[in-house]
Amino acid sequence: MELTRIAEALKAGRVEDVKTYTEMALSVGKEPKEIINSGLMAGMNVVGEKFKNGEMFVPEVLIASKAMNAGMEIIKPLLKEGDVTSKGKAVFATVKGDLHDIGKKLVCMMMESSGYEVVDLGVDASPEKIIEAVKEHDADIVGMSAMLTTTMMAMKNTVEGLKENGLYDDVKVMIGGAPVTDNYAEEIGANYSSDSTEAVELANRLMA
């Protein structure tokens, strides 16, 4: 079972095929993380390139995203490590004005599978909503995702809000997403990671 079949089906937006091939890959013993990286992510990366070059358009990208989510839903339960004690509580959100959630969901999945309790606030989350959730859940980590240069500012506003509410010193701020950089993170007082595996390593380092 070649994982490229998953990538091909995802690019073509064949949701049912993505599900079938993901199940097939698992049944022949492929590792969940390998399926994510060499199947689902590999396909989504090509979609990203084609979207950028004007070879794919929003409706097609949406269907590909649905296919990605469908594959991830199958893999999600397998990433959980059973009864591990919680490494900490993390609140995650895609920031205000931004509806991209595939990458953030992937980071949430990896965090959960490595033992963190994750509260996912979804997309388009205002600084107020994020700050409220940090308070309510007494979070150790807050993770923000932004995929648009225009929505990145919301990360800075949220960090400032955390400071104003006296929460900043008790919570580790992690940020990520395509336009986000290490420099930007440093500038606003957050920590950056470029992918979901690294995100877990970063969280572990911050919590150590």
Q: Residues 102, 109, 131, 185: which binds ligand B12 (CB under 6 A)?
A: 102
Distance CA 78, CA 103 (A): 18
11: contact with ligand B12 by CB under 6 A: no
Q: Residues 32, 71, 127, 143: which binds ligand B12 (CB under 6 A)?
A: 143
Distance CA 54, CA 90 (A): 36
Enumerate the β-bridge partners of residue 144.
Answer: 93, 175
Least CB distance from residue 83 to ligand B12, whole Å?
26
The residue type at 150? T
| Binders of ligand B12 in range 59-98 (CB under 6 A) | 61-62, 65, 97-98
User: What is the number of residues in the chain?
Assistant: 208
Spatial contact of 162 and 134, defined as CB atoms under 8 Å apart = yes
Distance CA 124, CA 104 (A): 12
112: contact with ligand B12 by CB under 6 A: no
Least CB distance from residue 81 to ligand B12, whole Å?
19
Residues at the interface with ligand B12 (CB under 6 A): 41, 44, 47-48, 51-52, 58, 61-62, 65, 97-104, 106-107, 143-145, 147-149, 174-179, 193-196, 199
